[in-house]
Amino acid sequence: MKEQKYMRLTITERRAIEKGLKDNMSIRQLAKSLGRDTSTVTREIMRNAVHRKTGGNWEEFNDCANREGCDKSRICKNLECDKPFCCGCIFCFRVCKDYIKERCRLPERPPYCCNGCKKRNHCTLEKVYYKAGVAQRTADEVLRNSRSGIDITEEERKRLDGIVSPLIKQGQSPYHIVANNRDLLMVSEKTLYTYIAANMFSASSTDLRCKVRMKPRKTKPVLKVDRACYEGRTREDLLKYLDENPDTAIVEMDTVEGKKGKGEKVLLTVHFSHSEFMLAFLRDANTARSVSEIFRWLRTTLGHETFSRVFPLIITDRGSEFTDPLAIELDEKGRAWTRVYYCDPNSSFQKPYIENNHRMIRMISPKGASLNGLTQDKVLLMMSHINSYARKALGDRPPIDVFAEMFGMEVIKKLGIKKIKPNDIILKPSLIS
Same domain? For 141 and 160 the reply is no
Same domain? For 324 and 346 the reply is yes
Residue 276: phi and psi, rounded to 5, are: 65, 15
Same domain? For 327 and 404 the reply is yes
Flag whether 33 is in a domain: yes
Same domain? For 236 and 164 the reply is no
Flag whether 221 is in a domain: no
Q: What percent of the chain has pLDDT over 70?
A: 87
Rounded-to-integer distance, Cα 18 and Cα 305, Å: 55
- Domain of 416, CATH number, reads 3.30.420.10
Same domain? For 158 and 297 the reply is no
* DSSP result, 40-61: HHHHHHHHH-EEE----TT---
- pLDDT tens digits, the chain, 433 residues: what are they? 444 556 789 999 999 999 999 999 999 999 999 999 999 999 999 888 888 878 777 777 878 888 887 777 766 665 556 666 766 666 666 667 777 888 888 888 888 999 888 888 888 888 889 999 989 988 888 777 666 666 677 788 888 999 999 998 888 888 889 888 888 888 888 888 888 888 888 888 778 866 655 555 555 554 555 567 788 888 888 888 888 888 888 899 999 988 887 788 999 999 998 889 999 999 988 888 899 999 999 999 999 889 999 999 999 998 888 888 888 988 888 888 899 999 888 777 788 888 878 888 989 988 888 888 889 999 999 999 999 998 888 888 999 999 999 999 999 999 999 999 989 998 888 988 8
Alpha helices of 174-245 — where are they, by DSSP H?
A: 174-180, 182-185, 189-197, 209-213, 235-244
pTM above the 0.85 mark? no
Flag whether 405 is in a domain: yes
Same domain? For 186 and 299 the reply is no
Same domain? For 253 and 158 the reply is no
Burial grade of 179 (CB within 10 A; 0-12, 13-18, 19 or more): exposed
Flag whether 88 is in a domain: no
Same domain? For 369 and 421 the reply is yes
Flag whether 218 is in a domain: no
Residue 232's pLDDT is 86
**Domain range spanning residue 186?**
154-213
Flag whether 364 is in a domain: yes
Determine the 3-state secondary structure of 254 from DSSP: strand
Same domain? For 281 and 209 the reply is no
Same domain? For 141 and 247 the reply is no
Rounded-to-integer distance, Cα 101 and Cα 62, Å: 9
Rounded-to-integer distance, Cα 326 and Cα 308, Å: 15
Question: Could you tell me if 147 and 124 are in contact, meaning their C-beta atoms sit under 8 angstroms apart?
Answer: no
Crossing angle, helix 376-387 and helix 399-407, to 10 degrees? 100
Same domain? For 46 and 176 the reply is no
Flag whether 133 is in a domain: yes
Please tell me the total count of domains within the chain.
3
Same domain? For 172 and 254 the reply is no
Flag whether 3 is in a domain: no
